[in-house]
Amino acid sequence: MSSILATVRSTIYALLQIIITPPYALIILAAFLLSPLSRYRLISGWAHLMLFLIRFICGVRYRVLGAEHIPRTPSIILSKHQSAWETLAFQKIFPPQVWVLKKELLRIPFFGWGLAMTNPIAIDRGSGKTALRQIVRQGKERLKQGFWIVIFPEGTRITPGEKSKYGIGGAWLSTHTGVSVVPVAHNAGNLWGKNSFIKLPGTITVSIGAPIDPIGMKPDELNVKIENWIESEVARINDWNIRKE
């Protein structure tokens, strides 16, 4: 019965998303003359609305650990990526932000158009050092504008319990700008899995680590430190949830 209820709730959420997104995207496109920060606030309103619907309809809630670690100045967020949920929730948890993402996402109707209006750093993952130079060049510009930069170092959504190679881009940006990295771990994939239509009710835990100063560190060294913290924290969160149950 619970699985049937979750399916019904997820279907209602999906239908509302389909109804709401196209007209909202048109409003966003009409606001292209606004400043980047004003556009972001308008666009993030869609994410806040979707987050509300997920909580109200599907029963997906969240709690944040380590919120006191969020710096006052723009920083680089490196996070585990398990779900579409964190792409919505981070817009409420953290200050105004841009994402480093694969440029193909910008071609998705409505969603991609709105995403393009957020001023992302859209890269070609196969371009190697060219992509790294782009990340640093555009990253400096976004940070100067007051935006935080969100990077998912594994590059794609990962099934809970698994991990992929951590890309060097985030650590490279940090060491080449001197801007601290804020590592983030969570277990969103347990309730909203990769490519899953079903959103299970429950509480997602988001853990924010203390900022890591890159000064004196090489990109590889920083990347390993970030990976170790995120992976160990994801394991700790899951272990805590199992013991709680």
Alpha carbons 76 and 171: distance in angstroms, whole number: 9
Write out pLDDT tens, residues 178-211: 999 999 999 999 999 988 999 999 999 999 999 9
Asked whether the predicted pLDDT for residue 31 surpasses 90, the reply is: no
When the pLDDT of each residue in the chain is averaged and rounded to a whole number, the result is 91
Asked whether the predicted pLDDT for residue 243 surpasses 80, the reply is: no
Alpha carbons 66 and 71: distance in angstroms, whole number: 11
Domain regions of the chain by residue span: 2-244
Alpha carbons 161 and 173: distance in angstroms, whole number: 28
Write out pLDDT tens, residues 44-56: 999 999 999 999 9
> What's the number of CA atoms in the CB half-sphere (13 Å) around residue 209?
27
Alpha carbons 206 and 190: distance in angstroms, whole number: 12
Asked whether the predicted pLDDT for residue 70 surpasses 90, the reply is: yes
Alpha helix locations (H) across the chain? Answer: 2-30, 36-58, 85-93, 111-116, 129-144, 169-177, 219-244
More confident residue, 161 or 124: 161
Mean pLDDT of the 138-142 span: 94
Element (H, E) at 104: none
pLDDT given at position 241 = 57
Asked whether the predicted pLDDT for residue 9 surpasses 70, the reply is: yes
Alpha carbons 38 and 43: distance in angstroms, whole number: 9
What is the identity of the amino acid at 128?
G
- Top-level class of domain 2-244: alpha beta
Asked whether the predicted pLDDT for residue 140 surpasses 70, the reply is: yes
Q: Predicted confidence band at 108 (pLDDT cuts at 50, 70, 90)? A: confident
Write out pLDDT tens, residues 208-241: 999 999 999 999 999 999 999 999 999 999 876 5
